[in-house]
Chain A
Amino acid sequence: MIDTQHSSSGTLVAESRKPILQAKNLVKTFGKVVGLDGVSLELYPGEVLAIIGDNGAGKSTLIKCLTGAEIPDSGELHVSGQSVSFKGPQDARTHGIETVYQNLAVSPALDVASNLFLGREERVPGPLGSLFRMLDTKGMRQKAKAELHRLGISTLQDVTVPVENLSGGQRQAVAVARAAAFGSKVVVLDEPTAALGVRESNQVLQLVRDLRDRGLPVILISHNMPHVFDVADRIHVQRLGKCAGTITPQSHSMTDAVAIMTGAATL
């Protein structure tokens, strides 16, 4: 298993390893607006990489390019050293990159288990599944339960409840569980605590640490500096479509981070 106690030595340790996900010189424009202006990024095994930046700095565009929701105009993407190009979210998913979007991307009327398996439903074995395409509802429910249990999400026992009946934190847990259950290489979380209260935020942050401790690297986009400094191993600062620098919670303070973010200081 991957050593997760490296954060004290920060970037130096991380850079001696091979990145799982690597982006080089990503450019993305929307008409005349430049969303990304040559951004590079590396994600190493077993780390939480936070991406911070002011509104319009290109955070969302960056992760959308990493997760196939947007197609960059130019630049390279590598997953485990292998060059890839995503044409849609499904492509990123087949390469083991799972995303929890800010708007959660859950179907309110479907139950927890259906949401966990949405887009990759499993069929019953035998001719019933192959010929009649019958879903293995029971099996998926059992697996959903097991996965929630494995992630320590204790508040979601009944996987047959429609997601719309859940609280904000529980929905977030469903979305994170879906990403964690299928993300074999990378889990990307876009503003996972934005709509949550203090207690629910803590639960989600704990989930992030648990994912990392299980060896899954996490990319975390957040506005919330205390949350970022709480869980991140490294922090990628976006400013005006470019990467203003990568820092660690040890090397810089929150004030420094905000200063870099707003352009008051440079690295």
Chain B
Amino acid sequence: MTTLETAGPPAEQKDLAGEFQDRQTPMTRIRNVLHKYPALSPAVVLLVSIVVFGLLNDRFLRVENLSLITQQVAVVGTLAIAQTLIILTAGIDLSVGAVMILSSMVMAQFAANEGAPGILALAAGLLTGLAAGALNGFLVTKFRLPPFIVTLGTLNIFVALTLLYSNGATVRGSAMPGLLTWMGTTFPVGPVRISTGVVTMLLLYLFVAYVLGKTAWGRHLYAVGDDKEAARLAGIPVNRVLMSVYLSAGAIMAVAAWIQIGRSNAASPNGGVDMNLDSITAVVIGGTSLFGGRGSVWGTLLGALIVGVFRNGLSLAGLDVLYQTLAVGILIIIAVSIDQWIRKVKS
């Protein structure tokens, strides 16, 4: 220990003191706090926007309006969980919306046309989600293709499959067993009406937050997204982790499909594809880094709620839909800028 004691500590202490002095400036201190709690900035944005929209229009803060926002957010909010898992591994999934629609069509058609009981139809939808996830995961791990390209391809494949399978026909909720539309049913909690879909989404958030934060799988997922090669050298089976992430995401998309059927009381092969971008928006506004390894599902929930609040608040304020889209666009750019700024803590 001689070297440490003679040459080490005094100089080291000076060095450390320098680092701490550096952290004392208010901006870097804010940055360090944001770096440690990535969900903090979306939380502040959500609170501020709720207050502002509440002041602009007193209908905004009414419980029925707030409950409407949660119901509007349920589908994208659920898809965004899957998107968060994939983005945390430094990937991206453009096919989430298409997988959800395909899965919902399989559920609906299986029940309506083949007369399958609800539980079997759900299982078929879940299998569809898992198969889609497996395909994405297989292409990403075995062929080492960039997730962006893989899911851009599978996005088109799944859209085409959906239209081929459904013949472009919408299945009405009334033609399906009750279980399939169950996610759309609401129940009163005090003065609010909560839908089963919203509760399911929240339970999924709780579950995924636990898995990400408290299990080895979650830690490995962050490590893989952070630095793939480092994770491999640390003995983490990188491809197995990635495959499990894409499979889990596929399963979550199937749940989103179930919620979507309940929400719209129908299964339609059209639309829903732009939900991939909405889910990415929620993740990014929620403070999860597109470069992987950084972020949380709670941030994503906040991000999804922010988008919901903005859309709802702006339309209550009587603004054109175009301005909602404009506002969301600005939010995305601000969120990514903040992420870049926070990441400078590294150097």
Considering the chains assembled together, what is the distance between the CA atoms of A218 and B210 in angstroms? 39
Knowing A135-B219, A164-B346, say if A203 contacts B233 (CB, 8 Å): no
A154 to B236, CA, bound (A): 29
Q: With the chains together, A118 CA to B238 CA distance in Å? A: 13
Is A107's CB under 8 angstroms from B235's CB? no
A202 to B1, CA, bound (A): 10
Which B residues touch A69, using CB under 8 A? 233
Asked if A210 is an interface residue, CB under 8 A from chain B, the answer is yes
Q: Is B230 interfacial (CB 8 A cutoff)?
A: yes
A-contact 0/1 string along B29-50, CB 8 Å cutoff? 0000001000000000000000
Asked whether B294 is an interface residue with its Cβ less than 8 Å from the other chain, the reply is yes
Distance (Å) between the CB of B18 and the closest chain A CB?
10
**Helix, strand, loop or mixed for chain B's interface?**
helix
Cα A119 to Cα B7 with chains together (Å): 34
Q: Is the CB of B8 within 8 A of A134?
A: no
Give Cα A198 to B7, complex, Å: 10
Is B4 among interface residues, defined by CB-CB distance under 8 A? yes
Of residues B1, B232, B235, B294, which shows the largest number of chain A Cβ atoms within 10 Å of its Cβ?
B235
Task: Given A69-B233, A103-B229, A203-B4, verify A109-B217 contact (CB < 8 Å).
Answer: no
Q: CB-CB < 8 A to B220: which residues of A? A: 118-119
- Chain A residues 133 to 179 lying within 8 A of chain B, measured CB to CB, are 133-135, 137, 152, 154-155, 162, 164-165, 167
Min CB distance B153 to A, Å, is 30
| CB neighbours of A118 from chain B (8 A) | 219-220, 223, 231, 234-236
User: Is B234 within 8 A of A167, CB to CB?
Assistant: no
* Residues on A with beta carbons closer than 8 Å to the beta carbon of B294: 109
Bound CA span A205–B7, Å: 13
CA distance A164 to B231 in the complex (A): 15
Per-residue contact bits, chain B 119-156, to A (CB 8 Å; 1 contact, 0 not): 00000000000000000000000000000000000000
CA distance A194 to B230 in the complex (A): 18
Q: Does B25 have its Cβ within 8 Å of any Cβ on chain A?
A: no
Given contacts A107-B222, A109-B293, A167-B15, contact A210 B215 (CB under 8 A): no
Q: Which of A184-228 contact B (CB under 8 A)?
A: 199, 202-203, 205-206, 210
Query: Is B227 an interface position by the 8 A CB rule?
Result: yes
Is A210's CB under 8 angstroms from B1's CB?
A: yes
Contacts of A154 in B (CB 8 A): 4, 8-9, 12
A-side contacts of B234, CB under 8 Å: 89, 105-107, 118-119
A107 vs B3: C-alpha distance when bound (angstroms)? 29
A123 within 8 A of B: yes
Contact of B8 among A93, A120, A199 (CB under 8 A): A199
Q: A118-B219, A118-B234 are in contact. Are A108 and B227 (CB under 8 A)?
A: yes
Task: Verify B4–A152 contact, CB threshold 8 A.
Answer: yes
Chain B, residue nearest A135 (CB): B214
> B214's contact among A134, A165, A206, by CB below 8 Å, is which?
A134
Is there contact, CB below 8 Å, between A89 and B3?
no
Q: Is B319 interfacial (CB 8 A cutoff)? A: no
Q: Which residues of A contact B229 (CB under 8 A)?
A: 103, 105
| Residues on A with beta carbons closer than 8 Å to the beta carbon of B214 | 132-135, 137
Contact between chains at B11 and A199 (CB < 8 Å): yes
Contacts of A210 in B (CB 8 A): 1
A114 at the interface (CB under 8 A from B): yes
Residues in B neighbouring A155, C-beta threshold 8 A: 8, 12, 16
- Asked if A3 CB lies within 8 Å of chain B CBs, one says no
Q: How far is the CA of A199 from the CA of B19 in the complex (A)?
A: 17
Q: Number of B residues contacting the other chain (C-beta, 8 Å)?
A: 37
Task: Say yes or no: A107 contacts B227, CB within 8 Å.
Answer: yes
CB nearest to B2 among chain A residues: A206
Let me know if A101 and B12 touch, CB within 8 A.
no
B216 near A121 with CB under 8 A, answer yes
Residue B169 lies at the interface, judged by CB distance under 8 Å to chain A: no
Query: Chain A CB within 10 Å — which of B7, B11, B230 has the most?
Result: B230
A90 at the interface (CB under 8 A from B): yes
Q: Which of A93, A134, A164, A203 contacts B235 (CB 8 A)?
A: A93
Shortest CB-to-CB span from A128 to chain B, Å, is 9
Question: How far does the alpha carbon of A119 sit from the alpha carbon of B240 in the complex, in Å?
Answer: 13
B219 CB contact (under 8 Å) in A105, A110, A152, A165: A110
Q: Is A41 an interface residue (CB 8 A)?
A: no
Interface positions of A from 110 to 130, Cβ below 8 Å from B: 110, 114, 118-121, 123
Establish whether residues B4 and A164, one from each chain, have CB atoms under 8 Å apart when the complex forms. Answer: no
A206 touches B226 (CB 8 A): no
* Smallest beta-carbon distance A88→chain B, Å: 8
Interface string of A59-87 (1 = CB under 8 A from B): 00000000001000000000000000000
Which single residue of chain A is at the shortest CB-CB distance from B12? Answer: A155
Q: Does A238 contact B (CB under 8 A)?
A: no
26 A-B residue pairings within 8 Å (CB atoms): A89-B234, A90-B235, A99-B233, A104-B230, A105-B233, A106-B227, A106-B230, A107-B234, A108-B226, A108-B346, A110-B222, A119-B231, A121-B219, A133-B214, A135-B215, A152-B1, A154-B9, A155-B16, A167-B15, A199-B11, A202-B3, A202-B7, A202-B8, A203-B8, A206-B1, A206-B4
Chain B contact residues, CB within 8 Å of chain A? 1-4, 7-9, 11-12, 15-16, 19, 35, 210, 214-217, 219-220, 222-223, 226-227, 229-237, 293-294, 345-346
Q: A89-B235, A108-B293, A202-B8 are in contact. List 20 more A-B contacts (CB 8 A).
A: A69-B233, A89-B233, A89-B234, A90-B235, A99-B233, A107-B222, A107-B230, A108-B227, A110-B219, A110-B226, A118-B223, A118-B234, A118-B235, A119-B231, A123-B216, A132-B210, A162-B35, A164-B345, A164-B346, A167-B15
